[in-house]
Structure 1
Amino acid sequence: MRLKPSTVLLPSLLLLGSACIVEAPGGASPAERRAATVAQVPPLSVRNGANLGGKVEIVGASVQPGRLTPGEQAKVTLYFKVLQPLEEDYLVFVHVEDADGRMERMNVDHPPAGGIYPTSKWRPGETVKDEFAIYLPPGASTRSLNIWLGLWEPRTDSRLRLTNPDAVRNDGRDRIFLAQVPVAR
């Protein structure tokens, strides 16, 4: 299999994402800010509403296609509504797990918005778009994949706390359930 430079190969899943992380001195340029934010959230296949630390709401996501076939990829687009300024630069942590527990969990931690717009530069009222792809290798035998996520600060190894755990599905450790993606047979 030939892989592009922007591809990360993991034992059970191939996860595609941006390999280039760009941070402009002093924050994102106006063009980068426009590329990383949306004026209006498009129709979502998954609504969420998780509130992280009173600072960010996970509005929801779209997963395309909505069913994953072994050997193909699904594109996940997340939307974060900024409620309050963030002092730290958090990573989006994404855990992709086999719903039946047969595959090892894949960690897909990454800077939001392809690395062009760190969380410490986010402005209240903005909605930040984050994209990544998951790929299930040919021959995988899982029936579905669960996607869990949140915001994680690597220096302190801490997650931004979920403030409304009764409103969204979570694991009690500030890890939010985003979606279950069925796998076609």
Structure 2
Amino acid sequence: MRRPVLPALLVPVFLLGACIVEAPGGASPNERRQSVVTQVPTLSTRGGANFEDKVELVGANLQPGRLSPGDSARVTAYFKVLKSLDEDYTIFVHVEDAEGRMERINVDHKPAGGLYPTTQWKVGETVKDEFTIALPPGASAQSINVWMGFWEPKTDGRLQLKNPEAVRNDGRSRILLMQIPVTR
């Protein structure tokens, strides 16, 4: 007796942007070149956050510089590698209404699109990480806060902020990367 052929699994289009892709066996030399910069461009947001003397946030850019409900913006963050990392950290990103009226949006992701895990980062490199923030169409926020940090999923631990007095943070190793104005 023949078994029926099952149709291929279809993934809804809206889920495709949420997938975390990892390069099997690590980053290729080309992927590493795309993830590392030799010169950081002019930044719209300065960094200075030091995570356990292993990674320093150099700063970030936002394109475009504002958001409207239903639109999205691209954030590019730059991290200076100070010391080798023994764990593959996820960059957690929490997008919250500055006035507290909107539900949090999580934009957690593997660094460099999953192509360059933190255990492969080399001391002295500046790693470029890009992600997109999408504001829901009905959002009523006047501005949104973008919080970020490094999270290790296996232990549910975070890289600890070494210099909390130097950057805006919430006391739980989550730094305020930027505040984005929302236009109507």
Q: Same fold (TM over 0.5)?
A: yes
Q: Partner of 1:74 in structure 2? A: 73
Deviation, 1:5, is 5.1
Q: Partner of 1:7 in structure 2? A: 17
Q: Partner of 1:11 in structure 2? A: none
Tell me the distance in 2 between the aligned counterparts of 1:137 and 1:3. Answer: 17
Opposite residue 68 of structure 1, the aligned amino acid is L
Q: Partner of 1:178 in structure 2? A: 177
Q: Partner of 1:43 in structure 2? A: 42
Alignment of 1:20-169 (within 5 A): 21-25=21-25, 27-169=26-168
2:91–2:150 Cα contact (<8 Å) kept: yes
2:102–2:140 Cα contact (<8 Å) kept: no
Which stretch shows the higher mean deviation, 164-173 or 101-110?
101-110
Tell me the distance in 2 between the aligned counterparts of 1:20 and 1:105. Answer: 20
Deviation, 1:3, is 4.2
2:102–2:139 Cα contact (<8 Å) kept: no
Identity %: 63
Q: How many residues align?
A: 173
Tell me the distance in 1 between the aligned counterparts of 2:171 and 2:90. Answer: 19
* Consecutive aligned runs of 4 or more in structure 1 exceeding 6 Å deviation: none
Q: 1:103 and 1:20, CA in 2 relative to 1: closer, same or farther beyond 3 A?
A: closer
Task: Show CA shifts across 1:41-94 (max 9, x none).
Answer: 111110011000100001110011111011211110111110000000000000
Deviation, 1:138, is 2.1
**RMSD of the TM alignment (CA)?**
1.4
Deviation, 1:108, is 1.4
Structure (1 or 2) with the greater strand fraction:
1
Tell me the distance in 2 between the aligned counterparts of 1:141 and 1:20. Answer: 29
Deviation, 1:4, is 5.0
SS of equivalent residue, structure 1 residue 49 = coil
Tell me the distance in 2 between the aligned counterparts of 1:156 and 1:113. Answer: 22
Tell me the distance in 2 between the aligned counterparts of 1:115 and 1:94. Answer: 15
Unaligned runs of 5+ in 1: 9-18
Task: Show CA shifts across 1:102-124 (max 9, x none).
Answer: 11112211100000000000000
Tell me the distance in 2 between the aligned counterparts of 1:59 and 1:170. Answer: 16
